[in-house]
């Protein structure tokens, strides 16, 4: 079984969305973790937009990357430039991937506009994760 780590800055939005989608698409072919270089708690709007797609991430926790230093990952995916540049080094033979998704937590405007940005980013991450699973985790 493959081990996947998804990293972002605060482990509150983008990495949580990606963890939910990769778990959903990969099923029992992978163990999926997410972490941040900081921990900001899981964003309630991320939970809400995933629930709209039938994926429950309400029990996810916000974890620091240092908690996973002893896990031998097969894949590490960074989902923001800050995490890619700032992540502390830990020895791994993991294949690394990077995609800089916009941070929906930085969206401004009305509540409706902010939620539209969360949905837009969610759908970008969904497409990325679907392709990742098809390419790297499907038998």
Q: Catalytic residue numbers? A: 8, 80, 87
Q: CA quadruple 92, 75, 68, 99: dihedral positive or negative?
A: positive
Nearest to 77, CA basis, from 67, 92, 61: 92
- The position carrying tokens 């809400």 is 48
8-state DSSP, 137: T
Q: Residue 4's beta-bridge partner residues?
A: 32, 75
Q: Residue 98's beta-bridge partner residues?
A: 78
The torsion region of residue 41 among left (phi > 0), alpha (psi -120 to 50) and beta comes to: left
């Amino acid at each position: 079984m493959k081990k996947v780590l998804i990293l972002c800055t605060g482990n509150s939005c983008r990495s949580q969305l990606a963890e939910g989608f990769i778990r959903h698409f990969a099923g029992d072919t992978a163990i999926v973790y997410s972490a941040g270089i900081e921990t900001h708690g899981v964003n309630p709007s991320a939970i809400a937009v995933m629930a709209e797609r039938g994926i429950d991430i309400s029990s996810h926790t916000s974890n620091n990357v240092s908690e996973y230093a002893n896990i031998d990952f097969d894949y590490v995916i960074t989902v923001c430039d800050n995490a890619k540049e700032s992540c502390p080094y830990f020895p791994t033979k993991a294949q690394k991937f990077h995609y800089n998704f916009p941070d929906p937590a930085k969206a401004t405007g009305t509540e409706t506009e902010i939620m539209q940005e969360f949905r837009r980013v969610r759908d970008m991450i969904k497409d990325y994760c679907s392709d990742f699973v098809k390419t790297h985790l499907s038998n």
